[in-house]
Amino acid sequence: MKIKTICCIGAGYVGGPTMAVIAQKCPEIKVTVVDINEKRIAAWNNEDLSLLPVYEPGLDEIVGEARGRNLFFSTDVNQAILDADMIFISVNTPTKTYGIGKGMAADLKFIELCARQIASVAKSNKIVVEKSTLPVRTAEALKRILENTGSGVRFDILSNPEFLAEGTAMGDLLEADRVLIGGDDTVEGNEAKQALVDVYSHWIPRERILTTNVWSSELSKLTANAFLAQRVSSINSLSELCEVTEADVNEVARAIGSDSRIGPKFLKASVGFGGSCFQKDILNLVYISKSYGLHAVADYWEQVIIMNDHQKRRFAEKIVKTLFNTVSGKKITLLGWAFKKDTNDTRESAAIYVADYLLNERAEITVYDPKVTEEQILADLDYLNSRTEAENRLLVHVCNDPYEATEDTHAVAVMTEWDEFNTYDWHKIYDKMFKPAFLFDGRGILDDKELYNIGFETYTIGK
Ligand code: UDX
Ligand code: UDX
């Protein structure tokens, strides 16, 4: 079966970039991305490509090339479902905040709503592709909803998990290490898998497209993220040990990363990992292990999260201790709010938790991030419900200029590894700060010797 029309439900960090690349690489396929959020769709359709809702280096160019040709953004979900041969589901699956599995299980209500909508609208056979990261065996739930419509329409369900990392999404999509497609081992299932293999074959070498059964595909996505997060928690656990011995975590990371069995990637100590996936996916793994009674397995993976929470808290505590055990009424400047550089995404960013901790200690916080808006920063803090919205607005100031943000401040803390932080005139920043001028580098990106020579009292994670 040759795919002519694709629809993607969910125009977020995953759906938008992924569909833009498919449209660019497959000019004969019409790709429509739909979303219930009108504001988001309007932003995707903005003439000014610098105002797309997702900031991702290189995305604007690809959208500029394909949009209006064979790439469309719309809020008409029903029409897009009707027209499509293949439907990607790329809606968010946040951790449940209520009921059974609260704080751990994935909330699948959006997925279920999508399935019900597809079931009620579709008039011809469809291939439905799970793009959202989901707990193992979600495809089965999808299938049961879709198969019980009584409309005689056939649905084949595939799992095609996303491995793009934000900030490098375009490269990750264009030169993927692998593409994973899970589907049933039946005649129809294999046809559906082949149809999606043909889409990716436009630009991905065939040997990098792996086909598996649905459950293997779903589980591989969760575990890929769990393994990556585990590496970060492992090196972060060592960063604390390095600080109390004479070891330097960067040197340790280089030494162990030179072992080809370990490798150099994902060994950068930090103030803690964030992002929409790591925590959520590990919690899913923990939850599913528990639900099968595998408590040792659940505890093993849960420790990765516990270590990460510890790392964020430890950094905040370090600031308070260093500032003579009190930050009450002191101004502290956070450089960076995004969960990593080159993205405007802030989900689960360590900065949110460090700021919250410092606010509980009555500090005043000033934030500068090159790509995150004031609205987002305040929304992230409000979401925690630690204090009233009015208090957050009183105690948190967002600046558009790094020099203004660091004026008359007691301490600067680097939360995100934005490249531009290294290009600042740190002499100028030092001159305008209260003395002693404290600097906490949560990402280990600044030249601590140079800063020391300027006069800063510096603390770097793992040193
Ligand atoms: C999300 C998940 O977090 C991730 O696990 C998964 O792999 C892909 O989907 P992301 O694209 O980053 O990742 O999420 P987000 O940016 O929140 O985008 C989801 C979009 O779906 C939102 O724009 C939301 O408005 C839309 N949506 C949600 C719908 O269109 N319909 C719904 O019923 C629910
Ligand atoms: C991740 C996976 O990498 C990707 O394959 C998956 O599809 C989605 O989840 P993402 O969350 O976008 O991608 O970012 P990633 O680059 O994995 O970083 C996650 C967090 O770990 C960030 O907060 C980052 O700063 C932190 N990190 C990463 C470290 O602290 N040290 C490292 O060495 C690497």
3-class secondary structure per residue, 369-404: CCCCCHHHHHHHHHHHCCCCHHHHHHHEEECCCHHH
The predicted structure's pLDDT at residue 337: 98
- Which tokens in the block code for residue 93? 């699956």
Cβ–Cβ < 8 Å for 386, 360: yes
Ligand 2 neighbourhood includes 111 CB (under 6 angstroms): no
Residue with CA closest to ligand 1 atom 1: 92
C-alpha 286, offset from chain centre: 19
Atom index in ligand 1 nearest the CA of residue 54 equals 16
Give the residue-averaged pLDDT of 146-156. Answer: 85
Q: What is the mean pLDDT of the chain?
A: 95
Rounded to 5 degrees, φ, ψ at 364 are -105, 135
**With bands split at pLDDT 50, 70 and 90, how would you rate the model's confidence at 90?**
very high
Would you say 372 and 294 are in contact if contact means Cβ atoms under 8 Å apart?
no
Q: Which atom of ligand 1 is nearest to the CA of 36?
A: 30
C-alpha 79/C-alpha 75 separation (Å) is 9
Q: Are 458 and 441 in contact (CB under 8 A)?
A: yes
Diameter of the chain by CA atoms?
A: 75
Does residue 252 contact residue 237 with C-beta atoms inside 8 Å? no
pLDDT at 321 over 80: yes
Q: Which of 71-75, 145-149, 268-272, 411-415 comes out lowest in average pLDDT?
A: 145-149
pLDDT tens, 209-239?
A: 999 999 999 999 999 999 999 999 999 999 9
Per the CB < 8 A criterion, the answer to whether 189 and 298 are in contact is no
Q: What is the pLDDT of residue 105?
A: 82
Query: Which residues are catalytic, by number?
Result: 162, 221, 277
Q: What is the pLDDT of residue 142?
A: 87
* pLDDT reading at 150 higher than 90: no
E strand segments, 249-382:
331-335, 364-368
* pLDDT number for residue 103: 85
Q: Has residue 428 got a pLDDT over 80?
A: yes
Alpha-carbon distance of 325 to 327, in angstroms, equals: 7
Tokens of 83: 């027209």
342 ligand 2 Cβ < 6 A:
no
For residue range 353-382, list pLDDT tens digits in order.
Answer: 999 999 999 999 999 999 999 999 999 999
- For ligand 2, say whether the CB of 17 is within 6 Å of any of its atoms: no
Any atom of ligand 2 within 6 Å of the Cβ of 273? yes
283 lines ligand 1 (CB under 6 A): no
Mean pLDDT value of segment 299-321: 98
Q: Radius of gyration of the chain from Cα atoms?
A: 24
Distance 165 CA to ligand 2 centre (A): 6
